[in-house]
Amino acid sequence: MFIELIENNFVWNRVLKDLIKKYGIENKLIEENKRYNGELKIYPKPELVFSAFNYFDLKDLKVVIIGQDPYINENQAMGLSFSVPNGMKVPPSLKNVYKCIENTCNVKMDYTNGDLTNWVKEGVLLLNKTLTVFEKLSNSHKKIWKGFANDLIKYIGDNSKGIIFVLWGNDAKALKKLIDSNIHHILEHTHPSPLARNPFINCNHFIEINKILEKSNKGKINWSNF
């Protein structure tokens, strides 16, 4: 078992099951694992693959922040894009996200805590385009999950209104064509990676998100990680 479905009554449960079946995700993971004789670990753990969908239903979704694929080192990946468990070293991209929040929102961040679960609990979907990965091999499962995130984004867009889609980097921006900007909000910037040309520290997305939410009477996101 490489993935475990969430067990709740949320809309996500049905949607994810349908997409897993459509793309044959489980069989593809099994075949890919056989190629390496089962010697490579798969991250995140099976019960964490869909953890981003465990905290709220579609009707409570406010923001979608899209990442690329899970972290490739042991105990880092937790099913939430950019997030790592509390106690793990905060990765460079997430560190830049924290710096940006401090710079633009006047919020103090705890750089020893990379766990973004508090954001998820407020209706922020931290979604990776690829939901699993082999240890030490970035993008190793990209083909397995190809199309999955596209269909999910399309479903969200067609079945909700006023969602804020946050696209950082070219990989995430490729999803823009699936989002109706007349119904939803789209925020774009370079990736928070230290390697990006345009420094992320001045990105105004966290301020903009809360302005949009306030205007829609949905309640601001508390970006603190304390």
**Strand pairing report for 164-168 and 185-189:** parallel
- Give, in order, the Cα–Cα distances in Å from 94 to each of 86, 89, 136: 13, 10, 19
Query: Residue 119 corresponds to which tokens in the numbers above?
Result: 């954001």
| 60 catalytically annotated | no
Tally the residues of the chain. 226
Among residues 43, 55, 41, the alpha carbon closest in space to that of 6 is found at 55
Q: Given 18, 57, 60, 69, which residue is catalytic?
A: 69
Q: How many CA atoms lie within 13 A of 62 on its CB side?
A: 23
Give the distance between the most distant pair of CA atoms in the chain. 54
In degrees and rounded to multiples of 5, residue 116 shows phi and psi of -105, 20
Return the active site residues.
69
